[in-house]
Structure 1
Amino acid sequence: MKKMKKLYLALMTFALVFSLAACSSADSDSGGSGEADGVQELTIKISHVVAENTPKQHGALAMKEYIEKESDGKIKVQVYPNSQLFGDKDEYQNLVANNVQFIIPDMAKLVGNDPGFNIPSMPFLFKDDEAANAFWDGEKGQEIFKRLEKDGVLGLSMWPNGAKHITNEKKAIKTPEDLDGMKIRTQGGQLLEALYGDLGAGSTSIPFGELYTALQQGTVDGQENTFSNIESKKFDEVQKYMTVMGHTRVDYALLTNTKFWDGLNDETRKIIEKGVEEATKVARDSAADLNDEALKTLKDRGQVEIHELSESEIDAFKKHLEPVYSEWAEKIGADIIKDAESKSK
């Protein structure tokens, strides 16, 4: 009798444990409890290669502020400017490895991944920042971003630096012929090489941090950059002439790791997505403001002679560069170029 009683108690205990386990499993699968609920506790790293007083840094800090506030501190965001974490040469590989969760590279650094990232270097393609923003926010721009998914990378947004302009030490540039024989520092890439080659100029890639010395020593005659970069690096101290051209652009891509992104639950992803939206707005507004202020400062300093191309002078450059434009439009994709052109109409 005692044996039967012990067996009965054992069976009842087993049944109770099994029942509790089943209930626990059901709760977990439904998302009713456990890690699937609520904001995940995370540490996110954002790395970029430029200084603090830049659209990149302003956007990154806005992203940090929003995400940390809305997550009640459960998500920590660490921002690393000035190549403190990774530099131009290794940041993409470290994003792929998920050693960093967000990077903001110059699109010129991505042309080897996909020819669509040559868009900012297409001569006179966009009339202003708004046209460039509209393209990258639209269907074809997002299509280019999606092509990085083969690497385990997700493109989220474009952050502009702005239109580029040429400075040089030799003479005022007003016509395509004025560039003949000059040596110009560019960001690099086959499209920019072709562009300056068509204008009779040599082009070379020099690290941005070494450019002031290269201009000072005459290693190159000139360079192309945004107003904010020209002013903040004081290139007007070692250059006599600046031509306001807007012929090409500097634009950045905000990228994340797909494994990281797919590992976020809905509540966490919504906060980060909204943080990206807020950061993008801040970065875009900051770029426009910094360039406006920089041009005013350059004029006030009066160290460089400034010439702004007229419409007829711009048309002369466009006509001269038609062969380069047509060749690279085909490489990038006629449908993509058509869409980009439509944003400036």
Structure 2
Amino acid sequence: MTLSRRQVLKYGTFATAGATLFGSQSLLAPYSHAATTLTGVTYLPNSYKALTYGSNRFVEMLKENGGDALSLDFYDSGQLLKVDEQLPALRSRSIDFMFHTFSYVTRSIPILGVTGLPGVAGELYRHPERLRLGSPLMELINEVLAKENLYLLTSGGGILEPEYLWSTAASPIRRLEEVRGKKVRIVGFEATQAFESYNVGATRIPSSETYMALQRGTVDAGVFNISTIIGRSLQEQLTYCYKLPVTAFSVAPFMLRDTWDNLDDDVRAVLQQAAEWYDANFVEHCNNDIYPNEYWPQVKAAGVEIIEPTEEEIATFNAGVQDVWDHWKGEVGEEVGRRAIALALGEA
């Protein structure tokens, strides 16, 4: 039986099948031919117009500029790997690069948690330059990632608009105290911790299952970025958006550090050019164009009531997250944690 490359990758027989299909040249060995072939993935479907804007153009640039040096196999919409399969596949070298949402992998890659820390995320959102290529915070993140043989090509030029609290008509959340006792869909670990003192029943539900969970009352509310709202048509099930900046994330390309280091110079230059475009355009386009001009008008047209938290409510929420910060610093190391938070807040 002849296996396709996709089948080989999907079913985990990468090395064995590589030897069978391609002879003594193992797919895990350094490339010896003129063209380097890279396999990349994203689990995001194209219904996420904003979040796939950057990855689609990144891939187009690789194809346009790769010439004879680079060929590409790219699978979107989870065609090859589901969200929780991507990072293990990268670590096992079954794929060469992936686009991943930070909030899904902060338990596995704790340093990325700085982008979603309550009380920090809002500052990073207002100051995207603190997370751009060449910034001290990006350099620190990659310094830590290198110890796990990971490399973040770019954050996308900052983080996306924060995730807010969205709730149904049956269980409205219009002020901070109303979150108490609610069943809330939360993905990010840091956000989950932030609501522990409010006796929230936090549930990690994939975005693809959230519409039905809201419709059936499995959850009362969710912590969502607006891309998830529009990408999954959740505005049809939600009535209130309480714009408390709970947490945040970006979607960005990752490789193994040694894969990056061992690329030919011309291939690395093509990737670097695409990464620089992504850094300059992805977050900026989402936050300043698609969200205000397309997504928020759709939410308002659906009748969702948008509620701004008071300064007192924001201060109350932020004052209660010190334990979250301390726990995170314990995971990444006290010195690294303090440096990262200081850089994110513009204090270093």
Same-fold call, TM cutoff 0.5: yes
SS in 2 for 1:123: coil
Q: What is the CA–CA distance in structure 1 between the aligned matches of 2:280 and 2:50, rounded to whole Å?
A: 10
Q: What is the CA–CA distance in structure 2 between the aligned matches of 1:241 and 1:121, rounded to whole Å?
A: 22
SS in 2 for 1:273: helix
1:48 corresponding residue in structure 2: 42
Q: 1:56-87 CA distances to partner (integer Å, 9 max, x unpaired)?
A: 42222222222332333542233311111112
Q: What is the CA–CA distance in structure 1 between the aligned matches of 2:68 and 2:312, rounded to whole Å?
A: 56
8 Å CA contact 2:51–2:227 kept in 1: the answer is no
Inter-CA distance 134–119: structure 2 relative to 1 (3 Å threshold)? same
- The Cα of 1:46 is off from its aligned counterpart by 2.0
- Of 152, 155, 169 in structure 2, the residue corresponding to residue 155 of structure 1 is 152
1:339 corresponding residue in structure 2: 343
The answer to whether structure 1 residue 120 and structure 2 residue 115 are counterparts is yes
The answer to whether structure 1 residue 176 and structure 2 residue 176 are counterparts is yes
Inter-CA distance 216–172: structure 2 relative to 1 (3 Å threshold)? closer
2:65 corresponding residue in structure 1: 70
8 Å CA contact 2:163–2:245 kept in 1: the answer is yes
* Consecutive unaligned residues in structure 1, runs of 5 or more: 1-34
Q: What is the CA–CA distance in structure 1 between the aligned matches of 2:242 and 2:74, rounded to whole Å?
A: 35
Inter-CA distance 218–152: structure 2 relative to 1 (3 Å threshold)? same
2:295 corresponding residue in structure 1: 294
2:74 corresponding residue in structure 1: 79
Larger radius of gyration: 1
2:97 corresponding residue in structure 1: 102
Q: What is the CA–CA distance in structure 2 between the aligned matches of 1:305 and 1:208, rounded to whole Å?
A: 22
Q: What is the CA–CA distance in structure 2 between the aligned matches of 1:267 and 1:66, rounded to whole Å?
A: 14
Q: Which amino acid aligns with 1:127?
A: E
Inter-CA distance 92–327: structure 2 relative to 1 (3 Å threshold)? closer
Inter-CA distance 129–157: structure 2 relative to 1 (3 Å threshold)? same
1:60 corresponding residue in structure 2: 55
8 Å CA contact 1:135–1:339 kept in 2: the answer is no
Inter-CA distance 130–51: structure 2 relative to 1 (3 Å threshold)? farther
User: How many residues of Structure 1 are paired with residues of Structure 2 in the alignment?
Assistant: 306
Comparing 111-120 with 89-98, greater Cα deviation is found at: 111-120
Q: 1:245-274 CA distances to partner (integer Å, 9 max, x unpaired)?
A: 222112234211234323322222212211
Comparing 175-184 with 147-156, greater Cα deviation is found at: 147-156
> Aligned ranges for residues 1-345 of structure 1 at < 5 Å?
40-52=34-46, 53-72=48-67, 74-125=69-120, 126-127=122-123, 129=125, 131-132=127-128, 134-135=130-131, 137=133, 138-159=135-156, 160-169=159-168, 170-189=170-189, 191-288=190-287, 289-292=289-292, 293-302=294-303, 304-329=304-329, 331-332=331-332, 333-342=337-346
Cα RMSD, aligned residues only: 2.7
SS in 1 for 2:84: coil
8 Å CA contact 1:195–1:324 kept in 2: the answer is yes
Comparing 319-328 with 47-56, greater Cα deviation is found at: 319-328
Q: Normalised by the size of structure 1, how large is the TM-score? A: 0.79
Q: What is the CA–CA distance in structure 1 between the aligned matches of 2:227 and 2:65, rounded to whole Å?
A: 32
2:10 corresponding residue in structure 1: none
Taking only the aligned residue pairs, the percentage that are identical comes to 20
8 Å CA contact 2:140–2:340 kept in 1: the answer is no
Q: What is the CA–CA distance in structure 2 between the aligned matches of 1:213 and 1:57, rounded to whole Å?
A: 23
- The Cα of 1:127 is off from its aligned counterpart by 3.0
8 Å CA contact 2:132–2:279 kept in 1: the answer is no
Inter-CA distance 267–324: structure 2 relative to 1 (3 Å threshold)? closer
Inter-CA distance 132–113: structure 2 relative to 1 (3 Å threshold)? farther
SS in 2 for 1:65: helix
* Consecutive unaligned residues in structure 2, runs of 5 or more: 1-30
Q: Which amino acid aligns with 1:204?
A: T
- The Cα of 1:225 is off from its aligned counterpart by 0.9
1:19 corresponding residue in structure 2: none
Q: What is the CA–CA distance in structure 1 between the aligned matches of 2:92 and 2:117, rounded to whole Å?
A: 31
Q: What is the CA–CA distance in structure 1 between the aligned matches of 2:341 and 2:242, rounded to whole Å?
A: 26
8 Å CA contact 2:186–2:202 kept in 1: the answer is yes
SS in 2 for 1:103: strand
